[in-house]
Amino acid sequence: MTIYSEEQAKAILDKAIKLSKADECSATLTGSSGGNVRYALNNVSTSGYVSDADLAIEVAFGKRVGTATINAFDDKSIEAVVRRAEELAKLAPENPEFVPAIDKQTYKSSSTFLEKTAAITPEYRAQVAADCIEPCRKDKLVAAGFFSDAQNFSAIANSKGNFGYQKSSGMDFTCTVRTEDGKGSGWVARNLADVAKFDAKADIKTAIQKAKGSVDAKALEPGKYTVIMEPAATAGLISFMMFGFDARRADEGRSFLSKKGGGNKVGEKLFDERVTIYADPWDENAAVLPWDNDGLAREKTPIVTKGKVDYLHYSRYWAQKQGKKAVGQPGNLIMLGGDKSTMDLVKSTKKGILVTRTWYIRMVDPQTVLLTGLTRDGTFYVENGEIKYPIKNFRFNESPAIMLNNIEEIGKPVRVGDDESPFVMMIPPMKIRDFTFSSLSDAV
């Protein structure tokens, strides 16, 4: 087990900083222990447990910086890693964009740790697999899924007297259910801080229902459609869009938030006025550490308010150059919504398409954040408030910057994890008009 207490972590960090002869020294100690179970074809394929801790030392002599890491914490190892960082710094070229270590920060702790989630056992994981596999076997369906959980700690300190320590925990679950003949496929995902809220037996029913309900899908013509997007279907698009929210990229003229003639579009209304997105490390459903990768304290940060862009991320170098204050980079994205469920949005739809999830999303043109990707594991035609029949999957070519201007209705946000996103997200289901499907896919 590599989870150290605050006292143990502080002792290691203090020792390292004291040993350093550099102009300044920052140290980060992180550790995690976690397990997973993977299953496919209704059989457990792999299960594992990984436990590791890591001490990273960054030192600076003037504008020369060196970094080294180690996973042993006896006195000799700590001294060795500090000396190695110092040697690397002396060999490094001067970094003209060097910024001194952060000043002492004030961190207000967030609720990122739950004992019950941290205490998940191999037996619990095996039971999750069994809870998915058994009903599928009985129903002549085929389950493939992955459940992973971890507890972590993060401790930071520097030679200017800054210090922070916090523990966190979480779990993530995905399961794909397919019919034996391969004609139907359904999916369910659950990303939670609190394992007590997780019920594999209940969740698997969603995937089973979608697998059975998607058999013999009909083909619709590609084109612009009103879509009801489940939260997982837009999370990837919104997360991708955030790469354009970097102040330097925008100021350099290479973001969709760059302004013609120079500068950026902060303060401009670019989205439907029902779009409000913010970051809040203390959010009760999506809490994250109260500091970012640089150790800067995170704040509750409005990103888009009623359609207006409020925020761009300033690195400490770019903030200094542009005369701005650098604040902690968001670790979560919380989009406001209403009270309606996805099915409520279906009920209010005359004609439309219900999308379970989107997949293989890639940037086509960063100028307009044009993204391409496909629907997957449950796409249905909706008419007069009812799901009428399954339809074949589509490829989309759409920009979230356009999508978030075509909102018809917003539902209740739910917590979403995404393999390719650095954020914990709260995303609502949304009904969107004129969503662009450009071709059909035969994939099930």
Partner 1 sequence: MDRRDFLKITGVSLGGLAIPTFYGRAIAAEELLSTIDVGAKKKLADVALNAAKADGASYCDVRIGRYLRQFVVTREDKVQNVVNTESTGIGIRVIAKGSWGFAATSDLSADAVAKAAAQAVAIAKANARLRTEPVQLAPVKGVGEVSWKTPIVKNAMAVPIKDKVDLLLGVNSEAMKAGASFVNSTLFLVNEQKYFASTDGSYIDQDVHRIWAPMQVTAVDQKSGKFRTRSGLSSPRGMGFEYLDAKAGDKVELPGGAIVYRDSYDMKADAIAAAKQAKEKLTAPSVKPGKYDLMLDPSHTWLTIHESVGHPLELDRVLGYEANYAGTSFATLDKLKDKFKYGSDKVTIFADKIQPGSLGAVGYDDEGVKTQKWDLIKDGTLVNYQVIRDQAHILGLKESQGCCYADSWSSVQFQRMANVSLAPGKDKLSPADMIKGIENGIYIVGDGSFSIDQQRYNAQFGGQLFYEIKNGKVTQQIEDVAYQIRTPEFWNSCVAVCDESDYRLGGSFFDGKGQPGQVSAVSHGSSTARFNGVNVINTARSLG
Q: Which of residues 1-60 bind partner 1 (CB under 8 A)?
A: 30, 36, 38, 40-41, 43-48, 50, 54, 56
- Minimal distance, residue 258 CB to partner 1, in Å: 6
Interaction residues for partner 1, span 226-265 (CB under 8 A) = 242-243, 245-246, 252-254, 256, 258-262
Q: Which is nearer to partner 1, 63 or 160 (CB)?
A: 63
Q: Which is nearer to partner 1, 257 or 382 (CB)?
A: 257
Interaction residues for partner 1, span 406-435 (CB under 8 A) = 419-422
Of positions 402, 412, 433, 434, contacts partner 1 by CB under 8 A: 402
Of positions 61, 124, 282, 359, contacts partner 1 by CB under 8 A: 359
Of positions 19, 82, 309, 361, contacts partner 1 by CB under 8 A: 361
Tokens 């995905």 appear where? 174
**CA angle in degrees (0–180, nearest 5) for 144-146-149:** 165
Q: Which is nearer to partner 1, 50 or 119 (CB)?
A: 50
Environment class of 262 (CB within 10 Å of its CB; exposed 0-12, middle 13-18, buried 19+) = exposed
Q: Judged by CB under 8 A, does residue 273 bind partner 1? A: no
Which residues does residue 168 pair with via DSSP β-bridges, in sequence order?
A: 152
- Spatial CB neighbours of 62, under 8 Å, sequence gap ≥ 6: 23, 94, 98
Q: Which is nearer to partner 1, 99 or 229 (CB)?
A: 99
Q: Judged by CB under 8 A, does residue 88 bind partner 1? A: yes
Q: Which is nearer to partner 1, 259 or 412 (CB)?
A: 259
End-to-end alpha carbon distance in the chain: 42
CA dihedral 361, 414, 344, 141 (to 10 degrees): 70
* 392, 217 contact by CB (below 8 A): yes
Q: Judged by CB under 8 A, does residue 269 bind partner 1? A: no
Q: Which is nearer to partner 1, 5 or 46 (CB)?
A: 46
- Minimal distance, residue 386 CB to partner 1, in Å: 27
Largest CA distance in the chain: 72
* HSE toward the beta carbon, residue 154, CA cutoff 13 A: 16
- Say which DSSP state 329 is in: P
* 332, 425 contact by CB (below 8 A): yes
* 326, 316 contact by CB (below 8 A): yes
Cα–Cα distances (Å) from 176 to 195, 204, 415, in that order, read: 20, 9, 19
Write the interaction track for partner 1 spanning residues 176-195; mark x where CB under 8 A is met and - where it is not: x-x---x-------------
Q: Judged by CB under 8 A, does residue 268 bind partner 1? A: no
The interface region with partner 1, picked from 3-11, 224-232, 344-352, 390-398 by CB under 8 A, is 390-398
- Minimal distance, residue 420 CB to partner 1, in Å: 5
Q: Which is nearer to partner 1, 125 or 340 (CB)?
A: 125
Show the 3-state SS of 164-218.
EEEEEEEEEEEEEEEECCCCCEEEEEEEECCHHHCCHHHHHHHHHHHHHHCCCCE
Please state, in angstroms and rounded to a whole number, the distance separating the CA atoms of residues 139 and 191: 26
Of positions 2, 8, 69, 285, contacts partner 1 by CB under 8 A: 69
Q: Judged by CB under 8 A, does residue 332 bind partner 1? A: no
Q: Judged by CB under 8 A, does residue 62 bind partner 1? A: no
Interaction residues for partner 1, span 123-162 (CB under 8 A) = 126, 142, 144-146, 148
- Minimal distance, residue 251 CB to partner 1, in Å: 11
Applying CB under 8 A, the site for partner 1 has a residue count of 93
What phi and psi, each to the nearest 5 degrees, are found at residue 195?
-65, -20
Of positions 190, 274, 298, 313, contacts partner 1 by CB under 8 A: 313
Q: Which is nearer to partner 1, 258 or 276 (CB)?
A: 258
Q: Judged by CB under 8 A, does residue 383 bind partner 1? A: no
Q: Judged by CB under 8 A, does residue 267 bind partner 1? A: no
**CA angle in degrees (0–180, nearest 5) for 266-269-271:** 115
Where would I find the beta strands (DSSP E) of 17-140? Answer: 24-40, 43-61, 64-70
The interface region with partner 1, picked from 152-160, 272-280, 334-342, 364-372 by CB under 8 A, is 364-372
Q: CB atoms < 10 A from the CB of 412, how many?
A: 16
* 360, 373 contact by CB (below 8 A): yes
Q: Tell me how far the alpha carbon of residue 92 is from its chain's centroid.
A: 33
Q: Judged by CB under 8 A, does residue 223 bind partner 1? A: no
- Minimal distance, residue 206 CB to partner 1, in Å: 14
Q: Judged by CB under 8 A, does residue 121 bind partner 1? A: no
Q: Judged by CB under 8 A, does residue 376 bind partner 1? A: yes
Q: Judged by CB under 8 A, does residue 322 bind partner 1? A: no
Q: Which helix (H) or strand (E) holds 78?
A: helix 75-91
